[in-house]
Amino acid sequence: MNFLNLGALWGLLFLAVPILLLFLLSRKTLVLPWAAYEWMRDSIVNHRREFEITDLLKLISKLLLLLALTLFCARPFLNTRGQGGNLILALDVSPSMNSRLESGTRLERAKSIAAEVIDRHEGAVSLFTYGSKLDPIIGSFTTDKGLLKAELSRIRGAAGYNGAAQLIEQVRALPLFAEASRVMLLGDFQTCWYGESGGIARALDTLGSRFPMVWVQVDPRAAPDNVAITDLVMTPEGAFGGRPAFFECLLRNGLSVATGDRILTVSVDRHIQQRQIIRLKGGENRRLAFSTTFTAPGWHTLKLELDNDALLEDNVHYAAVNVPPPLNVVAVVPATHGGAYPADLYVKAALGSVLPDASLNYRSVSPLEFETLQLNSAHLVILFGLALMPGSPLAAQVETFTKRGGGVLAFLPAIQADEALAAGVRSTLVPESTLDPQHLAGGWGEFFLAPELKAESVRFKNFATLSGISPGEVRLVSTAGAVAAVRTNGLGRIAVVGFVPAPAQSSLPFNPNFVQLLLRMVWETRNWPALYHDRGIPSGRTDERAGDSLLPDIKPDRAYSLLDEKGVSRALTVEGVGGEKRLAMPLDLPAGLYSIREDGVERLQFGHNLDTGDSLLEPVTARALEQARDKGLTYTDAGSLGRLVSRRDFGWLTIGLLLAALLFEAYAHFLRKHR
Amino acid sequence: MERPRQLLKYLNPDAIAHIAAVGFKPLERVEGSFVGNHRSPFHGFAIEFAGHRQYVPGDDLRHLDWKVFFKSGRYYTKQYELETNFLAHILVDVSSSMTFAHKHGRKLDYAAFMAVALASAVTAQGDQVAATLFANEIVTLLPPSGSEDAAINLSRALAEAPVKDRTAVGRVLTHLAEQIGRRKVVFVISDFFGDVDATFDGIQRLLYGKNEVILLHVLDPLELDFNYPGRVELVELEGAGRLRLEGRNIRQSYNALFGKYLDDFVTRSRKLNVDCIRCVTSANFGVTIAKYLNTRVLTQGGRP
């Protein structure tokens, strides 16, 4: 126990006063010659013990009264971590701190608690925020409470988050850490933030032997309801004008308990298109598929929205979809065949069955025609049973076309071993084989995993397996080896397939899923970026396409600007040198739909979303903290904060002592009155 | 050469006037040495005719009733009520316990004032007073006297009386009962702290001689109600005992015990048909005695 007014403890000396008074008064006694001695003597003999008790009770009562008065003046408080000293105060400003409480958000509550800590703390304080990293607000220790509170009020939420272990290491690296007597973090400390619990303990070890680090949980709720939209992907079939495009959004229940009914709303071009009722199990991550039809090529907006819960920021996901113009296909069929080529007819019919006429221009040519054909308007070239021998005019045309950004889908002839060679991919003739569904997952053949399909349902009679390709380029695998691969060549892509989709060579064209397979092959070789969205710019993750990395061909002499949905524009600067130029996006960009303009002309649109990495709002469990506690970590909540900061007066102690004094006095009075 | 102040120390004219105005009249017949205003048990020759008795040789012929002789031829002597004065014995306790004083002076002084006032009032109405100062035995004995000097002598005796250690009222009363004879008035002024049974034995001996006994119980207010809140060390006046105590703690139990003693004392007095007047030193003694005497007059022989 410490005391705010230590000098008042001198008042304890006054405790000696009643004792001395009792002693002195007992010595300074009136001596009275007494006549009725006999009766007085008898009275004392009968009641001697009670006199002693009442005297004692009254003495105790006086002592308690004085003690209460002294403690009231000394203002005691209990502080297990010591009083005063230099305090590093850091507030969590990650997106999860926007979670709403009964009044305000977690961040507002953290600021309120921080203000209280600043008020009560007797020593100096430095102020930091932490999201993706530890940022100084007041990077040196100060006792100017006014300044601290003014800066505190200016703190805003930020995007990005980081793990607890990294944060502790950043604290350790602070120059003023050596002068700090305590570090106090105010945050929500979700389970996801901790990572491995042993890591926190190890990180705490770096602070020194049992360094007093205090984590103050600002959210008193055990399980704040929260479902987040964490991602949005387009299926590999791509987006074509007039044809439904398929998307999958990833929903995550941030709690270990099941949700109630939640409504997901999908809006296209700001018009609500569909609603779904969803219900997630505890901790479930679910891919939810939906489709929408974009009638025309060009930019379209997509907005997914969940109904209200504890954290609104992760309930919405914005994206822009750039639907490509109608697909111009040039099919090259062998000249040896007179009339129609069956595979060509089959592919044309298959594409025609899924793409509207307006979205597909299909033209079949002979190799000879192809060699002299101007391919400026073509998007895709399909080769049927033609070997791409190096040095041949056909191969040269294909090489040129793909390097300029065109797509090639080459169904290789399976006639002679090592005969087929395209884009450096060698082929080997295989008499007969079946597809192995186990090797199809993640590639074009995912649909073969449908339970109604059987592996033996797809057979190849004469086909080629591919070699000289990396595992990442393989798309379709048979029991004999890879039969389809995609390789980037220049700005374009070339897909090499070891069979011709004709009945004589494979039963695959008769499979009802072949159309889907074909569409995936077409979309991949088309190489058209359709979905534009990100998941928080500063998070540093590499698997996202943030707004600043979407725009190719950035020229430093052009003026770029960012326009939001309300029409507010802000200038963007070009960063980097050489071919690594990029646009510097604002860090405080709120979630929404934006467009990037180059010299006033729209170049692209994109949806900007907040990082949902820490939207798992469930607070850490006691078990996860056990190891860390042993290293000096104090995990507490705002309600128990009083014992960790100074000036926690023990008013109840004073009142208790007064009550006890009253009780003793009353009991003494009772004894004297009734006995 | 005695100083007048010492002689008149306990003479209080106001109190004497109060008491003398009411006067003291014995309830029973008294035996006196001289003719007085009080009824005597003896018959004699005076103005109050009492009856006839047959003449016997030796009777004074002046009291023969000749009218009866002429009518009946027999000699009868006329008899008359004898009226006499009375002798009041005033017994004053001068033991150590009577020296207790708190805020209202010593009980002994209070008793002395009462004794002198009574003596003065009695002699003023022509009766005689004898005084006895006692403790555990008789200390001073003043012979019967009808003169006004009796009060002065008593005052002087009280002023000079040595204070003895213990009270033995019973023994003194018993001894006195053998000496004073019959039909006297006895005032006992004391705090009666001592053997109560012995005290009442002595009173009974006095009553056996048809004496009228009046008890003047002198008490200090602090003895009646021990209202002293602080710490006090009590030193026994008639012994060597010492008690250290907190006044507020002892008050209730002491008051209860002492009250019981007083109630018992009064009850026993009433049983013996003896007047017991509680004289608290905080009250004016003249008023206290006058009030008692008035009550005697009003009740015509009844007890106050």
- The Cα angle at residue A384 between residues A381 and A385, in degrees rounded to 5: 140
Distance CA A633, CA A210 (A): 8
The answer on B39 and B181 residing in a single domain is no
The answer on B192 and B286 residing in a single domain is yes
Residues of chain A with pLDDT under 50: 80-82, 420, 537-548, 646-647
pLDDT digits (tens, 9 = 90+) for A279-329: 999 888 898 989 999 988 999 999 999 988 878 878 899 999 999 999 999
pLDDT band at B287 (very low <50, low <70, confident <90, very high): confident
Q: Residue B304: inside a domain, yes or no?
A: no
Q: Does B21 score more than 70 pLDDT?
A: yes
Work out the burial of residue B113: count CB atoms within 10 Å of its CB; fewer than 13 is exposed, 13-18 middle, 19 or more buried: buried
**So what's the pLDDT on residue A330?**
95
B243:A37 CB<8 A: yes
Query: Fold match between A87-222+619-643 and A327-526?
Result: yes
CB-nearest partner of B254 from A26, A33, A40: A40
The answer on B273 and B215 residing in a single domain is yes
Please report which residue ranges of A339-476 form alpha helices under DSSP H: 342-354, 367-372, 393-403
Interface probe with B: pick from A21, A37, A47, most Cβ of B within 10 Å? A37
One-letter amino acid at A562 equals L
CA distance A114 to chain B (A): 58
Whether domain A327-526 has CATH 3.30.310.80: the reply is no
**So what's the pLDDT on residue A101?**
81
Residues in contact with A166: Cβ distance below 8 Å, sequence separation at least 6, in sequence order = A203
Helix (H, G, I), strand (E, B) or coil at A267: strand
**So what's the pLDDT on residue B267?**
92
A35:B238 CB<8 A: yes
Residues in contact with A88: Cβ distance below 8 Å, sequence separation at least 6, in sequence order = A125, A126, A128, A171, A174, A176, A177, A180, A182, A183, A184
Find out whether A106 and A146 touch, Cβ atoms under 8 Å. Answer: no
The answer on B119 and B44 residing in a single domain is no
**So what's the pLDDT on residue B102?**
84
Nearest Cα neighbor of A334 from A385, A408, A410 is A385
pLDDT digits (tens, 9 = 90+) for B206-256: 888 888 889 999 999 999 898 887 778 888 887 888 887 878 778 888 898
CB-nearest partner of A25 from B231, B236, B258: B231
Interface probe with B: pick from A40, A44, A47, most Cβ of B within 10 Å? A40
Q: Which residue of A has its CA nearest to B253?
A: A43
B97:A31 CB<8 A: no
**So what's the pLDDT on residue A543?**
35
Distance CA B180, CA A245 (A): 146
B250:A39 CB<8 A: no
> CATH: 3.30.460.80, 3.40.50.150, 3.40.50.970, 2.60.40.10. Which one for A227-322?
2.60.40.10
Tokens of A482: 């890879």
The answer on B108 and B80 residing in a single domain is no
Whole-structure pTM over 0.90, yes or no? no
**So what's the pLDDT on residue A21?**
81
Containing domain of residue B162, as a range? 4-31+86-299
Q: Which residues pair with A364 in a beta bridge?
A: A331
Interface probe with A: pick from B199, B238, B245, most Cβ of A within 10 Å? B245
Among residues B44, B65, B84, which one ends one of the domains? B84
The answer on B249 and B179 residing in a single domain is yes
Examine the predicted complex and report whether its ipTM is higher than 0.85.
no
The answer on B177 and B101 residing in a single domain is yes
CB-nearest partner of A35 from B193, B246, B254: B193
CB-nearest partner of B254 from A28, A31, A43: A43
Q: Residue B225: inside a domain, yes or no?
A: yes
CB-nearest partner of A40 from B96, B107, B243: B243
The answer on B208 and B96 residing in a single domain is yes
Among residues B63, B84, B105, which one ends one of the domains? B84
Q: Which residues pair with A28 in a beta bridge?
A: none
**So what's the pLDDT on residue A127?**
93
Q: Which residue of B has its CA nearest to A671?
A: B249
The answer on B150 and B79 residing in a single domain is no
The answer on B113 and B41 residing in a single domain is no
For chain A, which residues make up each domain, given as ranges? 2-78+656-674, 87-222+619-643, 227-322, 327-526, 551-606
Q: Which CATH superfamily is domain A87-222+619-643 in?
A: von Willebrand factor, type A domain (3.40.50.410)
Nearest Cα neighbor of B11 from B112, B101, B94, B88 is B112
pLDDT digits (tens, 9 = 90+) for B260-276: 999 999 999 999 888 89
The answer on B258 and B244 residing in a single domain is yes
Please provide residue A146's backbone torsions phi and psi, each rounded to the nearest 5 degrees.
-60, -45
Distance CA A457, CA A435 (A): 8
**So what's the pLDDT on residue B303?**
42
Nearest Cα neighbor of A491 from A533, A526, A531, A532 is A526
In chain B, how many domains are there? 2
Q: Does B84 score more than 70 pLDDT?
A: no
Nearest Cα neighbor of A410 from A373, A370, A355 is A370
The answer on B92 and B208 residing in a single domain is yes
